[in-house]
Amino acid sequence: MLYDPNIVMFALALFTIIVTFLAIESKEIVYSLFYFGVFTVLIGLIFFYLGAYYIAVFQIAVYAGAVVALILFAIMLTKRKGEVVVTHSTLTQKVIAASVTAVFFVLSAVVLLPDFPAVTFSGTMPTLTDLISIATTNAVMIIFVGIALATSLFASIFALEGGR
């Protein structure tokens, strides 16, 4: 196996602690809610990693799906003290956002596809048969990751179109 499971768990835990701190300390409450959504998905990944699959599914469906939307509507319906100022993001913010999403994607891929790196980096080049066998054994997970990536892509495109 290419990676140590303890290291993966440590990286997930460190990332979760950072995101939790950001959820508490963000000045704008919508950003705080966004970090809370990332936090719930990370907790779901940890549940998945520990073998509690049903809890992971319920965690992501209930928290990242329902509770975050509920809190978002409550934020929209109540008045805040300061006005929201939407500005264009700087290069530093884009780099930070890209690194955060990259780390998030790598952690998700490592948790969801545990056999994939071990075959790819075993010393010999994987043949087409190996790749087909990996794709068929992990078909559900690959479809899940693909749906997640497509959803994030379309959501970002619609957010950009709506912001103009």
Partner 1 sequence: MFVDTFLQLFSLIIFIIGAYGFLSRRNMIRMLISIEIMINAANLNLVFFALTSSYSHFIVLIAISLAAVEAAIGLSIVMLVYLRRGTIETDELKSLSG
Does residue 79 contact residue 16 with C-beta atoms inside 8 Å? no
161 vs 108: CA distance, rounded Å: 27
How many residues appear in the chain?
Answer: 164
HSE, side-chain direction, 13 A CA sphere, residue 71: 15
Site for partner 1 in 49-78 (CB under 8 A): 50-52, 54-55, 58-59, 62-63, 66-67, 70-71, 73-75, 77-78
Nearest-approach distance from CB 91 to partner 1, in angstroms? 30
Select 17 or 132, whichever has its Cβ closest to partner 1.
17
Structural tokens at position 24: 């508490």
Tell the residue number behind the tokens 């499971």, with chain if given. 5
Instruction: Check binding of 149 to partner 1 (CB under 8 A).
Output: no
Binding mask 12-51 for partner 1 (x = CB under 8 A): -x--xx--xx-xx----x--xx--x--xx--x--xx--xx
Instruction: Count CB-CB contacts under 10 A for residue 110.
Output: 20
Select 72 or 142, whichever has its Cβ closest to partner 1.
72
Nearest-approach distance from CB 68 to partner 1, in angstroms? 9
